[in-house]
Amino acid sequence: MSEMDAYRALYIAESRENHETIVKNLLVLENGPDEAAIAEIFRSAHSLKGMSATMGFKHMERVCHAMEDVFQLIRSGQLEVHQDLVDLLLAASDDIELMLDDIESEGPGTIDHLEERVQSLLDWKADRHTPGGMDAGSMQSENGATVPAQIADEALLEEKEGQFQMLIRLRDDCDSRNLRGMLLLQNLDQFGTIIQCIPDREIVEDGVFDGTIRLVIRSDAGIDALKTAASVSDVKEVLFGPDIEMAAGKTAPGREGVGKPLTGSDIVAAGTDHAPGLAKQVKEERVDKSREVKNIRVDITRLDQMMNLIEDLVINRGRLAQIARKFQIKELDETLNMVGRSVSDLQNLMMNIRMIPLSHIFNRFPRTVRDLAHKEEKEVEFTIEGGDTELDRSIMDGLNDPLLHLIRNGVDHGIEKPEIRMRSGKPGKGKLNLIASRDRDNVVIVIEDDGTGINREKVARKAVERGLITELQAAEMTNEAVYDLLFLPGFSTAEKVTDVSGRGVGLDVVRTAIDNLKGTIKVESSPGKGSRFELVLPPTMAIVNVIMVRINGRRCAIPVNNVVEVAGLSVSKIHHIGTQEAIMMRDEVLPLDRLDDMFGKSDKTEILVVLQHQNKKRTIAVDMIEGQQEVVIKPLSSMIGGCRGISGITIPGDGEVVPVLDVNAIVREN
C-alpha cells in the first residue's frame, strides 16, 4: 500500500465516523432544539470539510462548506429547524456517503447533482437571513465585519449562563494566520461551544482576515481556562467583556486598569491570583498528552491474518500435546503447559480485539425508521438498547441485512397509521424497539413493536392458497407452526407490491442469513398488541466447542450448542412411521437419522444424540462419543465445493481431517 493509499484509507475511516455523527444528531435535532446535537453536527461537518480540503477532494469540501453555513445559522438561532430542512440536510448527508464510496473506489469523490445540492443549501442560507441582510442583533465593527450586538455591550457575558465575549488579536508579524487561527479555535472547542465567530470560521482558517477574531463562547471552564486555550504562539492579546471596548480606545467608566492586554507570556487572571507561567505549563501538559497514542487503526485484513495464525497455533497445540502424551516426554509436557496457557491467552485477546459493538450497525437504523415512517405517514418512536454489546466482526458483517429487513418489516407491516391506532385505543405514535443483550455465551437481539401483530388466519389462508398446506392442516397447526410459514421462500402477506413489501423477498432471506451465522430466530406475536422477533447468535464462528463422535468408524464433530442431550439407544424403542425411523423421548416423538449416506451403514450404533435447530429436534445414531473439545472450524475449499450437511472441517491434535456437521441444514432439510 502506497503512502497516499494509507492516507486515503484513514480519511475514509474518519470521514465515515463524522458522517454517522451528523446523521445521528440530525435525527435528534428534528425532535426539538438540542445544543449538544448542534455542536456535534458542527464539529463533524467542520472536520469533514477540513480533511477533504487537505486531501484535495474539492467537491466534498464544497458540500460540507455549504452544510456548515446552514448549521452555523441553526447554531446562532437565525434559522429554525423544520422537517423540510432536515430532509435537505439528510439528503446532503446521503450525497456525502455516495462521494465517500466514490473516493474509496479511488474516484474523485463527486456526484452528478453536486451543483444542485450545493445551490439548494445556499438558498437556505440566503433566504433565511433577516430582511436587509443583517440580523437585528448585530452591528458593524470598525473593520466592516458584522459583530454580534452582545460583543459591543459593556455587560460581562460570563454572568449570563456561562457565556463569554472574547477578542483575540494575532501579532502583526504573524505569517501563519490560518494555522494560528485554526489552532486557537480548536483549543477553545475543547472547553465549550463557540456560538458566534467574527469573521466566519472558514475565513479564519483560510487566513484571509486582519488578525482580529471576535467570538462568543459558552463554557463552564471559566475565564482562566479560556485564556490559556487561546494563548497560542503569535497571539498578541486576549480580551474579555468590557476589555474589548477598551482595546478599541474606549475606556469603560469605572473600569480603569482592567483592560490590560493579555499576552501569551503574561496571563492576567481576572479576579484570581494565578502565576504568569500558567499558560506555558498548561500548554506543555497538553502537548505531552497529545503525544500519548492510545488508539490505532488497523486494517481488518490484518486482524483476519492474525486470527488465521492463532487458529493454526490452536491446532498445533493440540497436536503437540498428543505427541507429548504418546511418548511421555515430561520436559515437553511441562513446556506445553506454559505454551498452552499463552496460546489460550493470545486466543482470548484476539477474540476480544475482533469484537465490535453492535452500535456500529444499530446507529444506521434510526435514519431508516425515520424515512420509512414519513413515507408511510406513520409516527414511530424508535428505541435502541444494548448497543455496547459486542460481536465478532465476521458475524457483524452478515447481520446488517437481516436486521434491516426486520426493522423495515416492523414499520411497514407491524405499526399502524395514527388514526387506526387511536381507533383501537392506542397512542398515535407506535413503538419499535431494538434490544441487544448477553445470555451466557450467546448474543440475543430482539426487534419488537406494539403494532397490529401477526394475523394467524391471514397467514394460514395465504399458505393454503399457495398449496403449502391443506385447510385441515391449517386448522390443526399451532401458532408457532403458522408463524414459521412466514420464513418460506417467497411467502408474503402483502396485498400489493411496493418498494418495501410484496416483492417475494420475505423473511426467508432473514432466516437464511441467520442460519449462515449459526444462529436461530424465534417469532412471538399477540394480535392487536404487537410482534417480537428474537435472534440468538454465537459471539464468534471461528473457534467453537464440539463433541467428537464416531459413525461407522469415522470421526465427525457436532457443535455443542446444537446438542440437547446424549442417551443410550435401544433397538426396542425404535418405531417406524412410514419409511422414517423415530424414537419416543419424554413424551416426544423424534425422527431418527443414521447418516448412512454420509458415513456408510454401521451395525454398532449404541448412542443417541439429540440435535436442535430453531424449534425443531431430530436425533442421530452414533457408534461412540470421544469427548468434547475446542476446535477451529475451517470452511471447505472452493475447489471441493459445497457438501450437504457439512459446514466445514477441523483438524484435531492427531492431524486427522474431521468434518463438522451442519446441524441447521440437516434438521431443516429433513
- Compute the average pLDDT of residues 571-598: 84
The structural domain count of the chain equals: 5
Identify the band that residue 44 occupies on the pLDDT scale cut at 50, 70 and 90: confident
Residues 351 and 458 in one domain: no
Domain of 157 in residue numbering reads as 138-287
Choose one of 127, 152, 170: the last residue of a domain: 127
Q: Is residue 8 part of a domain?
A: yes
Distance of CA 43 to the CA centre of its chain: 20
Instruction: Judge if 10 and 113 occupy the same domain.
Output: yes
d(CA 101, CA 122): 24
226 with 334, same domain? no
Higher pLDDT, 500 or 363: 363
Maximum Cα–Cα distance across the chain: 109
Query: Are 395 and 337 found together in one domain?
Result: no
Q: Which of 18, 187, 409, 664 is catalytic?
A: 409
- Is residue 162 domain-resident? yes
The residue among 82, 108, 127 that closes a domain is 127
pLDDT tens by residue, 634-651:
777 655 656 777 888 887
Asked whether residue 293 is domain-assigned, the answer is no
Find, among 504, 456, 453, the residue nearest to 477 by Cα.
456
| CA dist., res. 272 & res. 433, Å (int) | 52
Q: Is 46 a catalytic residue?
A: yes
Residue 478's nearest CA partner among 460, 493, 490 is 460
The DSSP string of 587-634 is: TEEEEEE--HHHH---S---EEEEEEETTEEEEEEESEEEEEEEEE-B
Which is more confidently placed, 522 or 280? 522
Cell of 243: 476589555
Among candidate residues 19, 20, 46, 205, the one labeled active-site is 46
Q: Is 409 a catalytic residue?
A: yes
3-class DSSP state for residue 556? strand
User: Bridge partners of 631?
Assistant: 544
For residues 547 and 563, is the Cβ–Cβ distance under 8 A?
A: yes
Grouping H, G, I as helix, E, B as strand and the rest as coil, residue 565 is: strand
* Grid cell at residue 562: 446444537
| One domain, residues 468 and 403 | yes
| C-beta of residue 575 within 8 angstroms of C-beta of residue 581 | yes
Q: Which residues sit opposite 419 in a β-bridge? A: none
pLDDT digits (tens, 9 = 90+) for 408-449: 989 988 899 999 999 999 999 999 999 999 887 789 999 999
Q: Tell whether 328 is covered by a domain.
A: yes
**SS3 at position 376:** coil
Predicted pLDDT of residue 286:
41
334 is catalytic: no
Q: What does the DSSP assignment read for 66-105?
A: HHHHHHHHHHTTSS---HHHHHHHHHHHHHHHHHHHHHHT
Please check whether residues 20 and 105 belong to one and the same domain: yes
Mean pLDDT for the chain overall: 78
Residues 23 and 45: beta-carbon distance below 8 Å: no
Q: What is the DSSP track for 175-200?
A: S-HHHHHHHHHHHHHTTEEEEEEES-
Domain boundary among 509, 537, 565: 537
Mean pLDDT of 7-28: 86
Read off the pLDDT of each residue in 367-377 and give the average, rounded to a whole number: 90
Which range, 271-275, 378-382, 392-396, 609-613, has the best average confidence (pLDDT)? 378-382
Three cell numbers written together for 542: 471461528
Set 30, 61, 68, 202: catalytic member = 68
Does 132 fall in a domain?
Answer: no
Task: Answer whether 615's CB lies under 8 Å from 669's CB.
Answer: no
* Residue 478 and residue 576 in one domain: no
**pLDDT at site 503:** 39
Asked, for residue 265, whether it belongs to a domain, the answer is yes
How sure is the predictor about 130, in pLDDT bands with cuts at 50, 70 and 90? Answer: very low
Higher per-residue pLDDT: 150 or 377? 377
Q: Are residues 205 and 263 in the same domain?
A: yes
Give me the CATH number covering residue 54: 1.20.120.160
Please check whether residue 292 lies inside any domain of the structure: no
